[in-house]
Amino acid sequence: MAKKAPSTETLALRPFIPYEEKKGESYMNDNQKAHFRHLLLNWRSELMEEVDRTVSHMKDEAANFPDPADRASQEEEFSLELRTRDRERKLIKKIDSTLELIENDDYGYCDACGVEIGIRRLEARPTATLCVDCKTLAEIKEKQVGS
């Protein structure tokens, strides 16, 4: 039977150093933008490395098992990996569009109401485009429509 791919639990994120805000500094100044650009580029790099690992794994582990159960297990494993990579591909696109926002000085502000999203929220989710309040409202509306 085929070996398992390395689990995502073993893939640790590169060391993260929170941004230290200085008293009186303006929101989304050059230092903050550089901090988030660095975060996003590291994240994208990690995702791209995972894509490369998946391609290698699928090439190395591809086998034509005579046992239908083994073959089905391998196909299911590959299917799950490909779905994960597809989600990551979409995330890479989102990271790229976020990097573009940084370059255009539009990063860090809520798309819905225009207020500052906040450094800590952006560190938790660097691709966030809504402040906590607007995101909460959007989720409530989604629940109501989905029910």
Superfamily of domain 28-106: DksA, coiled-coil domain (1.20.120.910)
- Banded pLDDT at 87 (limits 50, 70, 90): very high
Q: Give how far the C-alpha of residue 78 lies from the chain's centroid of Cα atoms, to the nearest Å.
A: 21
| Average confidence score pLDDT of the chain | 86
Pair of tokens at residue 34 = 């550089």
- Banded pLDDT at 57 (limits 50, 70, 90): confident
The more confident residue out of 55 and 125 is 125
Residue intervals in the chain for CATH 1.20.120.910 = 28-106
Q: Are 63 and 2 in contact (CB under 8 A)?
A: yes
Asked if residue 49 has pLDDT above 50, the reply is yes
pLDDT tens readout for residues 9-25: 333 456 778 999 999 99
